[in-house]
Amino acid sequence: MTASINYTQSTHTAVVGSKEFIVRNLIPIFADDDKRNDSKQKIESCLYGIFHKYMA
């Protein structure tokens, strides 16, 4: 069974030069702190691997 993830959305407008862009930020809503911490650790380990690859 796959769990669906709900998101909270915030939207604002950014102007770059003469163009206007809509920026949407999606923030996941986790069922509990354990799932949030697991997701955070997974993201951190992947980012560490990427930074280590290019800094070495």
The model's pLDDT over 11-51, given as tens digits with 9 standing for 90+, comes to: 999 999 999 999 999 999 988 899 899 999 999 999 999 99
pTM over the 0.85 mark = no
Helices (H), the chain: 33-55
Residue with tokens 């702190």: 33
